[in-house]
Structure 1
Amino acid sequence: MTIEEKQEALIEEFALFDDWMEKYEYMIDLGKSLPLIDPELKTDEKLIKGCQSKVWLHSELKDDKVIFTADSDAIITKGIVAILISVFSNEKPEAIVNSDLGFIDEIGLKEHLSPTRANGLVSMVKQMKLYAVAYQAQLK
Structure 2
Amino acid sequence: MTAPVPTVWPAFRADDAPALIRWLVDVLGFEETLAVRDGDLVAHAELAWPPGGGVMLGSVRDDGGWPVRPGATGAYLVTDDVDGVWARVQAAGADVARPLQQTGHGGEEFSVRDPEGNSWSVGDYRGAPRP
Structure 2 length normalisation: TM-score? 0.28
Structure 1 or 2: more helix by fraction: 1
Structure 1 or 2: more strand by fraction: 2
Larger RCO of the pair (alpha carbons < 8 Å, separation 6+): 1
Rg bigger for which structure? Answer: 2
Structure 1 length normalisation: TM-score? 0.27
